[in-house]
Amino acid sequence: MPDMRGVRRRCALLLPVVLLLSGAAAGPEGPVVDTDRGPVRGRTHGAYSTFEGIPFAAPPTGPRRWRLPEPARRWEGVRDAGAPGSRCVQLPVLGPGGPVGSEDCLYLNVTAPAGPAPGTRPRPRPVMVWFHGGGFFSGSGDAYRPDRPAARGDTVVVTVNYRLGVFGLFGHPKLGGAPAFALADQRAALRWVRANAVRFGGDPGNVTVFGESAGALSVCAHLTSPASAGLFHRAIVQSGSCSTTTPPSALLPGLGTYEPFVPAGRTAEEGVRAAARLGCDRPSGVLDCLRALDARTLATADLMQRFSLVSYGDGALPTEPRRALQAGRFHRVPVLQGTTRDEIRLFLAQTLAAHPIGDESAYRARMERSFGVGTARAVAAAYPVAAYPTPAIAWATLLTDASFICPTLRDGAALGRHAPTYGYRFSDRGAPNFTGLPPVPGLPFGAAHGFELPYLFTITPLTEPQRRLADRMADYWTAFARTGVPAASGAPQWPRLGASARVLSLVPGADGIRTVDARAEHHCALWDERWPGVTTAG
């Protein structure tokens, strides 16, 4: 999930000899694949096999803290890959507790079909590389079981850990700014995929990066990063476009504008202040002092969230990504991107008890604080409180349009001028709540942020109609990974994004998948006029 400050816890070419998964040596405990660092033994689960906890870089510990990832060391013998590696240091998302995880966390997991597709001869499969969400301060790759896209879609799926919070996005002048180690970790994983995909039956020349929330923001960054050139061939952006942003005081009074991408100089200044508070402000030895600190000293709620924004302004990410898209400075690959229908409900639900929206006057007051009096008047006309069951639903609806749906469509228009681009809206308001958060009176979650994830990954049970939708979504996503076009047999045609902004709405039921004019339905002309350019100038 994006970090809403103050909403924490609630919210080398291939070697000439390779082993295809279908031809891997299979011992009594599972299949063995020889990676470029050494052999690993996985586990077979019927139609698919998993290889978990594979190191793709050296542990970024001790003197490697806040350094670019280095190659993992080779190992002798067969390494067991039957369980995930450690998650990166983070704080619990829900409930109390201190830091969990380890700085030794740069591991990935591979899920692949157990054999060649029925009736076909073995051929390399598309590879899909998943970057998890969690606001850049929580989450892990092993939380997602990709057996549906792997087995049903005949793809190799790789889920990745990357450094989080102060460990992944810290900046300081002594580091030369803010190098965005989290994104560097992801690039290291993509280089591992390029070197090892064939060994697992995958095609290193057909790699799709996909992610949700912070993972989607990561994909956006790679689309516009010169350092990521050639590492992927298609991109899927779920609920985290380059232009995602949230207005001030949207969720809590005094909460500033949320912008996921910030100038590197700002992050470096924050790093100077943080180092001083930690007693590491002597003219020399600042980094040595900081690297000597225990991980628990650094993994505070303040530091993990303060350094959860991606910096731009260096060679790896020279320009604010949304501006790079508008200027046409991005990798020309097919893109599939979209949102859920009720994104903001998940975030608003976590603050509504403390800051309710009880009536129309409270609703209007929030609009004026967030958008100013003039824009609030226009917004109130487009979103009259009487048209919604509660003022909270009205507020969540307009925030979703302003912060997620319309910015995503703006990015889609920019992308579509240079590359095939497809849009979707996940609209199942009966989607299961897998978050652990209790229901909130007056604000059902509906199709909230992240609620499409159980339809792509095995997370929580689905009803039969929802399982059929999940199968369709897996078909679309994996067809896009295979060909760059999300076309599935027997499923409605998915139009390319154009001037009308027609996107595919995804709902269970016989006629649940259909095209809609998202710009019209979500008042994007209003938002493009009144609130399009609020983020920091690049």
Q: Which pLDDT tens digit goes with each residue over 245-255?
A: 999 999 999 89
- Is residue 49 within 8 Å of 31, Cβ to Cβ? yes
Residue % of the chain over a pLDDT of 70: 93
Question: Which domains are assigned to the chain?
Answer: 21-243+256-340+413-428+474-502+510-515 (3.40.50.1820)
Per-residue pLDDT tens digits for 11-35: 322 222 222 333 344 445 799 999 9
Per-residue pLDDT tens digits for 479-505: 999 999 999 999 999 999 977 789 999
Q: Which of 49, 86, 213, 505 is catalytic?
A: 213
* Per-residue confidence (pLDDT) for residue 115, from 0 to 100: 73
- Tell me the average pLDDT across 363-374: 96
Q: Which of 172, 233, 331, 449 is catalytic?
A: 449
Distance of alpha carbon 348 from its chain centroid, rounded?
20
449 is catalytic: yes
Q: Which of 212, 320, 343, 452 is catalytic?
A: 343
Rounded Cα–Cα distance for residues 369 and 259 (Å): 17
Instruction: Report whether pLDDT(221) > 80.
Output: yes
Per-residue pLDDT tens digits for 437-470: 999 999 999 999 999 999 999 999 999 999 999 9
Rounded Cα–Cα distance for residues 59 and 103 (Å): 7
Per-residue pLDDT tens digits for 159-180: 999 999 999 999 999 999 999 9
**First-to-final CA distance of the chain:** 24
Token representation of residue 184: 């560097």
Output 431 or 93, whichever has higher pLDDT.
Answer: 431
In the predicted model, what is the mean pLDDT of the chain?
92
| Residues in CB range of 74: below 8 A, 6 or more apart | 37, 38
343 is catalytic: yes
At residue 235 the predicted structure's pLDDT band, cuts being 50, 70 and 90, is: very high
Radius of gyration, alpha carbons of the chain: 23
213 is catalytic: yes
* Per-residue confidence (pLDDT) for residue 7, from 0 to 100: 44
At residue 123 the predicted structure's pLDDT band, cuts being 50, 70 and 90, is: confident
Distances (CA, A) of 117 to 20, 122, 152, 415, 488: 13, 7, 10, 33, 17
HEC assignment per residue over 388-410: CCCHHHHHHHHHHHHHHHHHHHH
Output 9 or 292, whichever has higher pLDDT.
Answer: 292
Per-residue pLDDT tens digits for 37-57: 999 999 999 999 999 999 999
Per-residue pLDDT tens digits for 309-367: 999 999 999 999 999 999 999 999 999 999 999 999 999 999 999 999 999 999 999 99
The model's pTM: 0.94
* Per-residue confidence (pLDDT) for residue 9, from 0 to 100: 33
